[in-house]
Amino acid sequence: MNKHENESLAEELANFLLKLSESKNKDSLQKEANRLIRSVTPRDFTSAENNLIRNGITPEKIQQLSTSFIMMALLEKEKSDLRSHLPDYHVLRKVMAEHDMLRCFLADLEDVAEQIHQTASLKPTSAEFMRLAHIVEHLNSLDEHIGREDDVLFPVLREHGWKSLFAQIEGEHAYIQMAVGDLVKLVLAFEKMPFGTFKNRLMSTVRYLCPLLREHLFHEDRVLFPLAISLVDSDTVWERLRHICNEIDYCGIHP
């Protein structure tokens, strides 16, 4: 593809993202998204995004639009449901299994936080507090999960580009780690603060963390990982990543 064709495709992608931003009927854009995803490259995305920035669109909004576009296109493909065709030993199957575990812990966290919020008093030996501490201990192992993605998976995928998508995912990682860190500090400081303060801080953190982490897991499962499978068409590469991740181990599995 020559330079003129590249510029034309980048301009077409920029126009599509603008339409995606303004349209209330996303279904009407589905066929166009399916067509574009077959041709655009990370370089086209970079050019389109620079075009939109020059027209006053914020980087945050552009990241949202780019993610929405990729999701629209990939959800039409069989590869969007990775569990239906990836072998059980595949590294992404294991990572997505961790995601399922994390969703269970989030549901438990919301449940116990609400119980504590309705309680008049609480002791370190109370069942609710011990359950909270157990859940937070598991969520704290997210550092291993995030580290494996940032240090092992993402460097390989980043070789193929998609700068905006990775910027969004890694930015979410930072906010998630801060929120989990706040939960850990809160549990450790339980006996050093008034119970009312503890309850309020707990509910505030839970109401921030749970929606953020659920949306993040959805983006990885339905956007980033299907895109990774499309980009990295090499069993050798995936096998190498699997061996590295096996050496690191998986969060919530080892003691």
Query: CB of 164 within 8 A of CB of 124?
Result: no
The CATH fold assigned to 83-248 is Four Helix Bundle (Hemerythrin (Met), subunit A) (1.20.120)
DSSP code for 29: G
Report pTM: 0.72
- pLDDT tens, 51-74? 888 888 887 787 777 777 776 766
Q: Which residues of 218-249 are buried (b: 16+ CB within 10 A; e: fewer)?
A: ebbbbbbbbbbbbebeeeeebeebbeebeeee
Name the nearest CA neighbour of 216 among 183, 160, 172: 172
- Which residue in this structure is represented by tokens 């659920």? 214
Please report, for residues 65, 161, 163, 172, 199, the alpha-carbon distance to residue 167 in angstroms, rounded to integers and kept in the order given: 13, 11, 6, 9, 34
Residue 37: predicted pLDDT: 73
Residues 6+ apart with CB under 8 A from 105: 135, 138, 139
What element of type H or E holds 248?
helix 235-248
Confidence of residue 132 (pLDDT cuts 50, 70, 90): very high
| Domain range annotation of the chain | 3-76, 83-248
Distance, in Å, from the CA atom of 111 to the CA atom of 90, rounded to the nearest integer, reads: 32
Q: In whole angstroms, give the CA distance from residue 72 to residue 226.
A: 12
Burial group, residue 155, by CB count within 10 angstroms (0-12, 13-18, 19+): exposed
Question: What mean pLDDT is predicted for residues 214-232?
Answer: 82
List all residues 6 or more positions away from 51 whose beta carbon is below 8 Å from its beta carbon.
10, 11, 14
Give pLDDT tens digits for 176-199. Answer: 999 999 999 999 999 999 999 999
**pLDDT per residue over 72-102, tens digit each?**
766 555 444 667 678 888 888 888 888 999 9
